[in-house]
Chains A and B, each alone.
Chain A
Amino acid sequence: MLIIDTEACIGCGLCEDNCPFDAIHVEDGKAVVNDSCTLCGTCVDHCEVEALSIARDEKEGIDLAAWSGIWVYAEYRNGKVAQVTNELLGVGTDLAAQRGVELAAVLLCGEAGDIPQQLIAAGAHKVYVVEDPALTNFTDDSYGNAMEDLANKYKPEVILAGATAIGRSFIPRVATSLKTGLTADCTDLAIGEDGHLHQTRPAFGGNIMATIMCPKHRPQMSTVRPMVMKANIPDANRQGEVISEAIAPERLKSRARVVRSVLSEGEQLNLSEADVVVSGGRGLDNPEGFKLVEELASLLDGAVGATRAAVDSGWIGYPHQVGQTGKTVASKLYVACGISGAIQHVIGMKSSETIVAINRDPKAAIFDVADYGVVGDLFEILPRVIEKLKERRS
């Protein structure tokens, strides 16, 4: 809990001004904390008279030393290793080096083929492979139980997984079964001086960043969005160990069964791989406004993106959503039209090479991540730019 030394407190209000959670207020000249407090420590750092401190219940933790090694869940579906797996092996390499431990990949599949060698080439020192027909299709029961059993057997200190449809579905199950913490959609991972994994993610609707730790439980678990971390350059000469594991058959029985997988084709958007993305947000006001974005995108041979606000307003479909809960893009050119720049969106596009933002509000946060900014009315600017680009084309 947050301890307030009412003798020392001078009621200056610095804590109230700086609390990101609206959890501390000055009442009758003294600071008072409410239930929204997350013990993040921001007020403690800002207090100039050292009136605030944090006391945590010193509960008996588990034996942390018994858990060692960094694990990456190697996502494999329809004959392909997900790109995010390589990215996790990239960041995993750094984490393992900092901890002086091994980096292992865990592959759950019907048939492994040469996938373990690919994972070693991407940075894994070890690959634990479970090959079983029951794992051909993804189900939460079978994948969750397999991962849980392996984690209990080998006791890794860290488990990383992609924040993909599969990772976001079964990894929370593993964390709950292991009674440990899980941090979703991390954008930064580092080993602190304390030896713990420091997991940073956007919080509070993506308006602010939070660093989260899991200091008394193991494994420390995180999911990471695709295209956030950097993969190693694959090296076919890298040596590693492949360990075959068998999971008890009753643990691979699933109470949910995949009857059929339907792959979307044709209209499938490759937003994530587009060189140019033109995105629209609330500033476009209506579906008609969104047409300007679509026209500009087509002139630039680009894909159309959108903020959650635009998708929620029904102006465009969810597959176009860019951001923490949509797609992550790393395009050569990203044009943000009428987008305020909430972190939830910025997380999904800030790795783009050149970012151009157009917004009528000069204080819009989108300008903080932009390379070029234009303050003005979209409905004046976009039609003229479209004309100009047409002239240039012809």
Chain B
Amino acid sequence: MRIVVCIKQVPDAKDVRLDPVTNTLSREGVKSVINPYDRHAMEEGVRLKELYGGTVTVVSMGPPQAQAILREAISCGVDDAILVSDRAFAGADTLATTYTLSQAIKKTGEVDLVLCGKQATDGDTAQVGPGLAVRLGMPYVTCVKKITGVKGQVLSVERMMDDGYDEVEVDLPALLTVVKEINVPRFPSIRGLRKAKAFDIPSYTAADIDADPDQLGLGGSPTWVVKVFPPEAKGDRTMLEGSLDEIVEKLAEILSDSAHGA
């Protein structure tokens, strides 16, 4: 089975903060990490390879710095890594992103299974997985929490729904987006780290993937960000002050009154 896993470099969510004075995002000391959901997609790819044989290739669209997460992927058991990077891709919304990724994946050859995290923690759209499947002409299943088996060209999976879960059979080649419940990602191995260090990561440009320039980056994005602003504050709040005992007394009263609709 040839498996491609899409991964994205995102700012570590717990580090991003809004500067209260300028209302802009403070990036000082913000680390870049593999999108947490993508780690589970990677792990599932490696797990399937170990069970059924095959290869796992990770693909990431991003700036040259995204090499770091591809290297990390290699250290976690992935066979191959490709960076898709070109200034022409900058500012892409999900439609332009799915176009770019699909062109890159097609370039790598025939694929049996594409795995993505259910969403990236910076954009939180959950749109790239389904959109990419459409571009690749594949069926897809989102929010997969378990792959239960492979029979011939049919994959059995469980997908999370709002009221429980569905058992679904999907024809291969297919794309799945996965949730965290699917597995526990492994740590890099010593051998993996050695391999990652020496690994030469190829980088695909817009020309390499035969991309139509009109469908790339900001220009290829139907959605425009027209305004950015800080979230509104509620305003008139009451801060409880005084000694610890006074605060506790007051707080207990508020909680008990509000909870019981007094």
B255:A205 contact, CB within 8 angstroms: no
How far is it, in angstroms, between the C-alpha of A173 and the C-alpha of B138 when the chains are bound?
A: 11
B225:A202 contact, CB within 8 angstroms: no
B93:A373 contact, CB within 8 angstroms: no
Report B-chain residues with C-beta under 8 Å of the C-beta of A206. 124
A325:B119 contact, CB within 8 angstroms: yes
Answer whether A183 and B141 are a contact pair too, CB < 8 Å, given A39-B218, A204-B16: no
Shortest CB–CB separation between residue A382 and chain B, in angstroms?
9
How far is it, in angstroms, between the C-alpha of A309 and the C-alpha of B121 when the chains are bound?
A: 12
A384:B244 contact, CB within 8 angstroms: yes
A sample of 17 more A-B contacts (CB under 8 A), given A21-B228, A172-B128, A268-B164, is: A82-B162, A140-B139, A172-B130, A175-B127, A198-B226, A207-B16, A207-B25, A217-B222, A254-B139, A255-B139, A256-B139, A256-B168, A256-B174, A275-B261, A365-B20, A385-B252, A389-B252
Main secondary structure of the interface of A (DSSP, over half): mixed
B229:A41 contact, CB within 8 angstroms: no
A261:B14 contact, CB within 8 angstroms: no
Answer whether A38 and B225 are a contact pair too, CB < 8 Å, given A19-B24, A318-B180, A333-B259: yes
| B126 proximal to A (CB < 8 A) | yes
A308:B254 contact, CB within 8 angstroms: no
| A230 proximal to B (CB < 8 A) | no
How far is it, in angstroms, between the C-alpha of A43 and the C-alpha of B130 when the chains are bound?
A: 34
| A179 proximal to B (CB < 8 A) | yes
How far is it, in angstroms, between the C-alpha of A139 and the C-alpha of B131 when the chains are bound?
A: 15
| A360 proximal to B (CB < 8 A) | no
| A97 proximal to B (CB < 8 A) | no
Report B-chain residues with C-beta under 8 Å of the C-beta of A169. 130, 142-143
| A273 proximal to B (CB < 8 A) | no
B230:A183 contact, CB within 8 angstroms: no
Answer whether A258 and B167 are a contact pair too, CB < 8 Å, given A39-B91, A375-B239: yes
Report A-chain residues with C-beta under 8 Å of the C-beta of B25. 20-22, 204, 207-208
A365:B18 contact, CB within 8 angstroms: yes
How many residue pairs link A and B with beta carbons under 8 A? The number is 303
For chain B, residues 145 to 165, give those with C-beta under 8 angstroms from any C-beta of chain A.
Answer: 156, 159-165
A302:B249 contact, CB within 8 angstroms: no
| B112 proximal to A (CB < 8 A) | no
Interface string of A38-61 (1 = CB under 8 A from B): 111110000000000000110100
B251's nearest neighbour on chain A, judged by CB, is A385
Contact of A332 among B143, B156, B224, B258 (CB under 8 A): B258
How far is it, in angstroms, between the C-alpha of A57 and the C-alpha of B215 when the chains are bound?
A: 12
Contact of B166 among A176, A181, A258, A367 (CB under 8 A): A258
B234's nearest neighbour on chain A, judged by CB, is A369
For chain B, residues 73 to 93, give those with C-beta under 8 angstroms from any C-beta of chain A.
Answer: 87, 90-91, 93
Contact of B219 among A59, A141, A257 (CB under 8 A): A59
B14:A78 contact, CB within 8 angstroms: no
What are 5 residue pairs bridging A and B, where the CB atoms are less than 8 Å apart in the complex?
Answer: A169-B142, A173-B133, A175-B131, A208-B25, A392-B252
Report B-chain residues with C-beta under 8 Å of the C-beta of A139. 168
Shortest CB–CB separation between residue B187 and chain A, in angstroms?
16
Answer whether A372 and B240 are a contact pair too, CB < 8 Å, given A365-B18, A392-B256: yes
A208:B231 contact, CB within 8 angstroms: yes
B124:A210 contact, CB within 8 angstroms: no
How far is it, in angstroms, between the C-alpha of A354 and the C-alpha of B262 when the chains are bound?
A: 12
| A103 proximal to B (CB < 8 A) | no
| A37 proximal to B (CB < 8 A) | yes
Contact of B247 among A41, A343, A381 (CB under 8 A): A381
Contact of B16 among A179, A205, A332 (CB under 8 A): A205
B95:A372 contact, CB within 8 angstroms: no
Report A-chain residues with C-beta under 8 Å of the C-beta of B18. 207-208, 365
B168:A374 contact, CB within 8 angstroms: no
B141:A381 contact, CB within 8 angstroms: no
A282:B223 contact, CB within 8 angstroms: no
How far is it, in angstroms, between the C-alpha of A1 and the C-alpha of B224 when the chains are bound?
A: 12
| B103 proximal to A (CB < 8 A) | no
A373:B239 contact, CB within 8 angstroms: yes
| A26 proximal to B (CB < 8 A) | no
Interface string of A118-139 (1 = CB under 8 A from B): 0000000000000000000111
Contact of B222 among A40, A180, A260 (CB under 8 A): A180
Interface string of B35-50 (1 = CB under 8 A from A): 0100000000000000
How far is it, in angstroms, between the C-alpha of A172 and the C-alpha of B130 when the chains are bound?
A: 6
Contact of B237 among A176, A182, A373 (CB under 8 A): A373
A255:B231 contact, CB within 8 angstroms: no
A173:B130 contact, CB within 8 angstroms: yes
How far is it, in angstroms, between the C-alpha of A268 and the C-alpha of B164 when the chains are bound?
A: 9
| B125 proximal to A (CB < 8 A) | yes
Contact of B248 among A37, A173, A177, A385 (CB under 8 A): A385
The 6 A-B pairs with the shortest beta carbon distances in the complex, nearest first, are A255-B139, A181-B222, A35-B90, A181-B223, A368-B233, A388-B252
Shortest CB–CB separation between residue B240 and chain A, in angstroms?
5
Report B-chain residues with C-beta under 8 Å of the C-beta of A264. 163-165
Answer whether A211 and B226 are a contact pair too, CB < 8 Å, given A333-B255, A374-B247, A374-B251: yes
